[in-house]
Chains A and B, each alone.
Chain A
Amino acid sequence: MTCLPDKTDKKLGLLIDLDICVGCHACAVNCKEWNTSGITGPMEDIKPYGDDPSGVWYNRIHSYEFKKPGEVDRTVYFPKSCLHCEDAPCVTVCPTGASLKRSEDGIVLVNPDVCIGCKLCSWACPYGAREYDTTGGVMQKCTLCVDKIYDETIPEERRVPSCVSTCPAGARHFGDFADPESNVSKLAAANDARDLFPEMETKPVNQYLPPRKRQIHKEKSLNHKVSNVKDAMLRWAKLDFTG
């Protein structure tokens, strides 16, 4: 049913720390690895080894350069997947009920057996979280690895989305945002967590931690003291490495 639940018991989602992400794409690759054989897979790959490969990914890693007057430029790696919004516009526009938000945990899913492939949900989503499967004629999206996080046959500590378990930098956290004592709620509260695109009024569940404030040591970081010792051999001899 495409009516949004008034309230979900849990708000499962991701907290992504942009200060830590190194843009390695491991989360996107492991997402594809798990989900292509998961409940909403396969995730198509058209001409994967050709000149013009295309296919469905639930997670894409963007990167941006930020310029601010008076500050050194900053590079931010920006993983983007479904934010499992509380007011998900992709759910309410769906004419068939294929798009749904679960009342128990807030996960937004597409039922591939009901979807007619009208693509309207992808038009409604401001974040580009949904991609179209041309082979199956249906829409696909992040499932928050719903077929992994509840799987009691795997060890409990591994019951997290595959993007979270694979992140080598520890930039991704998974938890219940409805519980103020959860790991993600505490981290979010302590680190100025952000909604993406608040003007769209979608109330995203996933949160992003912004890059932290730089510690500015002007004389150290920006104006290196240049060594007076020009000769490299002499510099070693004097153990002077200031240059």
Chain B
Amino acid sequence: MHPALSVIVFTTFSGMGYGLFIWICGNILIGTPPFREEIIFGTSMSFILVATGLLSSVAHLGRPERSWRAFSQWRTSWLSREGIMSILTFGPIIFIGGETYLNTGLDFLIMPMALLGIIGAVITLYTTSMIYASLKAIPAWHNKWVIAGFQVYALSSGGVAYIMVAGWQHYQIVMDLLVFALAVKIMTWIYIDRNRGQYKRESALGLSDFGKAKPFEPAHSQKNYLQREMGYELGSLRRTVMRWLALGGGFIIPAALLYVGFPLAPVIVVICLIGMMAERWLFFAEAEHVVRLYYDKDEI
């Protein structure tokens, strides 16, 4: 699949934003709330990350001015459900940040809102992952690793952001999470690498009993939309480079910097975000769509 910057920014930024918000809410719930300024800063950052991600996804649309229509089909469409959940989850984010800032006397609602915030963020992340995991035509996405990954990477990258926001008291857990996320990523790659080749061109043509098929005359002289959107061919060198960039930036370097107590937390956040963007770039670039069986791929 073509790795479009808009969808990469959408999922990485909103993932980190929701992860950070889950960390803030979790700490409020277990009785170790961050300081007032930290909550205001953290919820603002969470809001900005999520909003940037969502605006970026809207920029991906052909008719962005109609994007409000996307809230209507929640009965069947994961994209629609994601849109609705992301808007609903703004409620707790804005409430916790706003109430902490304005102090209107509704602070007894902070605890229930924190619980709702965690539930909302987890469901939103799930709906985002299901946009991809529900597509049978893209085997690299149509599996449980994708669903687990979106949750785990949000928590690990959000944990790094939380350290920047509220200090180092949980850095051990964040480090463990980064290592766990690293393991999930590697397991995901092992899974998709081992499951290549399950769909064949002959079956796509409905002619499995006619022997081996290869393309003869191309259907069109120039690349069409299908090949531009779904025909991305990832070279093996670039794959290796990007995989190391994703592992290093997304998980290993942030974990190492936390381990040595690197003092500039914003730098760790930036490194982690760049690594997650490399990870998400690969998520698209490595995902082969079965429509390529009609073109250049013998099997997928």
Contacts and interface: CB of A to CB of B under 8 A. Distances in A.
A94 B78 CA distance: 9
B136 A200 contact: yes
A125 B265 CA distance: 44
A94 B77 contact: yes
Nearest to A56: B225
Given A93-B77, A95-B69, A200-B136, A115 B204 contact: no
Which range contains the number of B residues in contact with the other chain?
Answer: 35 or more
B105 interface: no
Nearest to B65: A116
A123 B73 contact: no
A118 B79 CA distance: 10
Contact of B217 (A63, A98, A137): A63
Interface stretch (B56-64, B162-170, B188-196, B238-246): B56-64
A64 B216 contact: yes
A132 to B, nearest CB: 5
A132 B60 CA distance: 13
A158 interface: no
Contacts of B214: 64-65, 67
A63 B216 contact: yes
Interface string B218-253: 111111111001100000000000000000000000
A2 B137 contact: no
A160 interface: no
Nearest to A96: B69
B145 interface: no
Interface string B114-134: 000000000000000001001
For the residues of A in contact with B, the DSSP-based class is loop
Contacts of B62: 115-119, 132-134, 136-138
A124 B137 contact: yes
A10 interface: no
Contacts of A18: 207
Interface string B2-43: 000000000000000000000000000000000000000000
A76 B204 CA distance: 14
Given A66-B212, A80-B219, A116-B70, 10 more contacts: A18-B207, A65-B215, A93-B79, A95-B77, A98-B69, A116-B69, A118-B61, A125-B291, A194-B206, A210-B206
17 contacts: A1-B73, A64-B215, A65-B215, A67-B211, A71-B211, A76-B210, A93-B77, A94-B73, A95-B71, A95-B79, A96-B72, A114-B66, A115-B66, A122-B230, A137-B62, A137-B63, A196-B205
Nearest 5 CB-CB pairs, A to B?
A117-B62, A68-B211, A137-B62, A194-B206, A128-B291
